[in-house]
Amino acid sequence: MNLIINARDAMPEGGTIVVSAENRTASDDDPLPLHEGDYVVISVIDRGCGISPELLDKVLEPFFTTKEVGKGTGLGLSMVYGFAKQTGGTLNIESKVGVGTCTELWLPRATGNAARKGPRSNVSQDPVAQRSLRILLIDDHAEVRGTTAAMLRDLGHSTVDVGTGAEGVEILSADERKFDLLVTDYAMPRLSGTEVIKLARQHVTDLPALIVTGYADMDEVSERPSDVGLLLKPFTVHDLSRAVQGAVESR
């Protein structure tokens, strides 16, 4: 989703985004930082503005963005890159100003044994039954925030959704007893999810909280309070339901 949104934003006048997948084999002579072996390569190609050579090496750095102020956080590509590295793959970007960009996500191809489905779990995948909660949802990514809010409403909860930690803390300070649960993204500009929770609990000391993150490095969120749950992206409605229940029960 991050790669496709970037491709869309690179073509403000419209255009076509091509998404493809193919099997490739990496060798020791390959310039990419990969172990020799078989990979699945997912490519996202646009015919947009492109990225200049001097910026190409920087776009994978956290909080660096080529977009104008207010249009991007600089976290999308760094999270994709972190995910790719965690799985043993990499992210390769080729771009030319005025021509477009091709972003390749290299992921190790599963072996025949690994690809076989294991026995079906006896654990129910139905959402956990729970009471309706009033939830404050904070996520700086509008598309992700909208999807998470819709999932929470499908579970029977009501939500107030905001795009920054400062907005969330302001809402809590105005009405300390308005919410049963705080759900916040971790990686946000200015205030991280952990910082948001600490500030929120200055107003509501016993507020249950849940951090949602797509970061591959779990050490990044190790400083969260011990009673704050962690939900990894991507997640299903069932995962979200379990995490919400766990966060509320922890307080």
Does residue 195 share a domain with residue 106? Answer: no
Pair (14, 66) in one structural domain: yes
pLDDT at 224: 79
Which of these, 100, 114, 111, 127, lies nearest to 44 by C-alpha position? Answer: 100
Residues 245 and 183 in one domain: yes
Residues 89 and 189 placed together within one structural domain of the fold: no
Task: Give dist(CA 139, CA 165) in Å, integer.
Answer: 8
Please check whether residue 125 lies inside any domain of the structure: no
Max Cα distance, the chain (Å): 61
Please state, in angstroms and rounded to a whole number, the distance separating the CA atoms of residues 140 and 188.
6
Q: What integer pLDDT is reported at residue 212 of this predicted model?
A: 92
Measured CA angle at 16 (ends 214, 52), to 5 deg: 70
Q: Residue with structure tokens 């997912």?
A: 42
Kindly give the pairing relationship between strand 90-96 and strand 18-26: unpaired
What does the pLDDT profile of the chain (251 residues) look like in tens digits?
889 988 998 999 999 999 999 999 998 888 898 999 999 999 999 999 999 888 887 787 765 565 554 455 445 687 888 888 888 999 999 999 999 999 999 999 988 765 555 554 444 455 555 789 999 999 998 888 999 999 999 999 999 999 999 999 999 988 767 899 999 998 888 888 999 999 999 988 889 999 998 765 555 566 778 889 889 888 889 999 999 999 998 87
- Residue 109: predicted pLDDT: 94
Residue 148 sits in a domain of what CATH number?
3.40.50.2300
- What CATH code is carried by the domain that includes residue 79? 3.30.565.10
CA separation, residue 78 to residues 46, 110, 214, 229 (Å): 19, 24, 10, 23
> Is the previous residue joined to 53 through a cis bond, with omega within 30 degrees of 0?
no
Q: How many domains does the chain have?
A: 2
Question: CA 42, CA 91: separation in Å to the nearest integer?
Answer: 10
- Residue at a domain's end among 77, 111, 145: 111
* Confidence (pLDDT) at 70: 45
The residue among 50, 78, 111 that closes a domain is: 111
- Say if residues 217 and 186 touch (Cβ distance below 8 Å): no
Range of the domain at 186: 134-250
Report yes or no on whether pTM surpasses 0.75: no
User: Nearest 5°: CA angle at 216, between 212 and 217?
Assistant: 100
Closest CA to 188 of 227, 214, 222, 224: 214
Distance (Å, rounded) from C-alpha 83 to C-alpha 105? 10
Neighbours of 117 (CB within 10 A): 5
Side chain identity at residue 10, one-letter code: A
